[in-house]
Amino acid sequence: MVSQIMILSAERSIRRGWRKARHTLSLPDLQEIITAAPDILVIGTGTPGMMQPEQTLSGELESRGIDTKVMPTKEAAQEYNSLHEQGRKVAACFHLTC
């Protein structure tokens, strides 16, 4: 089974992509984010919170200077908008299929 994610940042266009790892977010899923080098990545885990980052993902992103916030997608969208309105360099990854 596959799942769909959306990558979003103020500096780059939106990308939707299908992934084979249904409920696990990994570093290869986030290459556009790493290239954009935001200060914060907001991760939306889907409505029921099913998609989770790999255990090492936050540490790997933090070593690149990217803080992460993980929450259900509805709250993640609100957090992304709030941070963007504050002028923060923020990006988001939203799980769309559940």
Instruction: Say how far apart CA 28 and CA 40 lie, in whole Å.
Output: 17
Instruction: Say how far apart CA 51 and CA 23 lie, in whole Å.
Output: 4
**Mean pLDDT per 10-residue interval, the chain, length 98 residues:** 68 61 82 88 91 93 96 95 94 85
Can you say whether the dihedral through the CA atoms of 87, 63, 67, 21 is positive or negative?
positive
HSE, CB side, 13 Å, CA atoms: give it for residue 18: 3
pTM of this structure: 0.86
Q: What is the model's pLDDT at position 82?
A: 97
What's the CATH class of domain 3-95? Answer: alpha beta
HSE, CB side, 13 Å, CA atoms: give it for residue 75: 9
Instruction: Say how far apart CA 79 and CA 56 lie, in whole Å.
Output: 23
